[in-house]
Amino acid sequence: MNIKFQRLVARGRYVAIPFVAVAAVAGVAASSASANPISKKELTSLQSFVTAAQAPPTWTAPGASVKGSVLKGKTIVTFPISSEIDACTTQQTDFTAAAKALGATVDALPTGGTGGPPVWISNLADAANTNAAAAVIFCGASAAPITAELAALKAKNIPVVDGNYNQTEGNAGFPFSGLQGETGVNVYGGVQDDLADALLNLKGKAAHILFLDSPSVAQYAGAQDGLKAGIAKWCKSTCTFKEDDVPVQDWGADGAGVASDLNANPNINTVIVTFDGMSDDAITQVQSEVAKHPGLKIYAWGGGSAEEKDVETNSVFAADAGPDERWDAYGALDQVIRLVSGKSAVTVQKELDPNVFFTKSNVKSFFTSSGGYSDAAFGNGAFIKDFDTLWGVK
């Protein structure tokens, strides 16, 4: 599918609308009523793909052994891209506990309200003013709006690690704008998990997708590339998508935008969200529009516990892919240890924080019997021992 993007201002934010080949545009209406474009054989292959994505991942050492004791007496400034996103704050909490166990002091700053670049800038200034040993951002801030602050920290030899970043699948631009390390998540693959499951739930009919992406998160381009690659792989001539770009400050008010998109595009049968922290209002709108959009369901990437609970209980939230939040926190801490030691950060050629793909068939493994978080789907915490061994913790 040949896609060209035209940027338009709508509802107070940019909306990216893909213009596809004429046949594909006309086919939005036609293909939805046509015979299934995906064969039974292909559906069987898609089911195998989804089943494999649901399996527990294995831990891979990010690099050579390093001494965690190097952090003793050091101060690390941390903050989430938004304090209202549970996955980000959970990572910050887990990082704090692990770093303190190694003797570090952690200045865990909030990013209150809708957050966004103004608060990121303030928090990075705190790291510079206090001469912190390192700064860590959780959930993958886009580096573009904080270039000046990153340059100032780099000049003071204060490394910045962007946790939940996405260099995987060949992002040759990293590191850019002063970032020194990342944790290497795979939104590229997670979005393809979503598309594969959507095609299964649609029983082989074409997916006509409303794609909610955000330039405020570092996974932005990786998610786009993953969706395009999945469409090219499985339904090149039949699937379509319309992209709606939502800055982090607008996430809490995006329901009206989703409703507008769904009302304007009656053939949409799939909503895919780059980052599941954006999904709350979208779920409500999807629920209200199901009767008008046969087969309509929402899918996401991110792995937040609140969103996994929605997958378990909500009829329209079909699936969510994402890495373990503690796994990602430990990956960020590993990069900090390397950088504070004067070593290079690990160059991530593959995801160090692999996705598990959760659907209603396996999402209960995300929770304990009492409803709390469970690490069963990620190897029952075995990776913590692996990191301790890597860092020389006894």
DSSP-derived 3-state class of residue 186: coil
CATH homologous superfamily for the domain 4-56+188-322 = Response regulator (3.40.50.2300)
**Alpha helices in 133-236, H assignment, sequence order:** 147-155, 187-201, 220-234
Model pLDDT, residue 125: 96
Report in angstroms the alpha-carbon separations of 12 from 15, 152, 209, 253, 254.
Answer: 9, 32, 22, 11, 11
CATH homologous superfamily for the domain 68-186+324-355+373-391 = Response regulator (3.40.50.2300)
Q: Over the Cα atoms of the chain, what is R_g?
A: 21
DSSP-derived 3-state class of residue 272: strand
Q: Tokens 């929402």 — which residue?
A: 298
Beta partners for 211?
A: 243, 272
Question: % helix / strand / coil in the chain, to the nearest 5?
Answer: 45, 20, 40
Q: What is the pLDDT along the chain (394 residues), one digit of tens a residue?
A: 222 222 222 333 323 334 333 223 333 433 344 456 888 999 999 999 999 999 988 888 888 999 999 999 999 999 998 887 788 898 999 999 999 999 999 999 998 766 688 999 999 999 999 999 999 999 888 777 898 999 999 999 999 998 877 654 445 444 455 788 888 788 899 999 999 999 999 999 999 999 998 887 778 888 999 999 999 999 999 999 999 988 766 565 566 788 889 999 999 999 999 988 888 888 988 999 999 999 999 999 998 888 999 999 999 999 999 988 888 899 999 999 999 999 988 877 666 778 899 999 999 999 988 888 888 888 887 788 899 999 999 8
Domains 4-56+188-322 and 68-186+324-355+373-391 share a fold: yes
CA dihedral for 215, 221, 224, 226, sign (positive or negative): negative
Model pLDDT, residue 114: 63
Are residues 95 and 125 in contact, defined by beta-carbon separation less than 8 angstroms?
no
Question: Which residues make Cβ contacts (< 8 Å) with residue 309, sequence separation at least 6?
Answer: 367
Is pTM beyond 0.95? Reply is no
d(CA 17, CA 210): 10
Amino acid making up residue 320: D
Residue 169 has a CB neighbour count (10 Å cut-off) of: 17
What is the side-by-side order of every strand in the sheet holding 297-301? 240-245, 208-213, 270-273, 297-301, 317-322, 356-359
User: What is the domain partition of the chain in residue ranges?
Assistant: 4-56+188-322, 68-186+324-355+373-391
Amino acid making up residue 242: K
d(CA 87, CA 81): 10
Model pLDDT, residue 248: 67
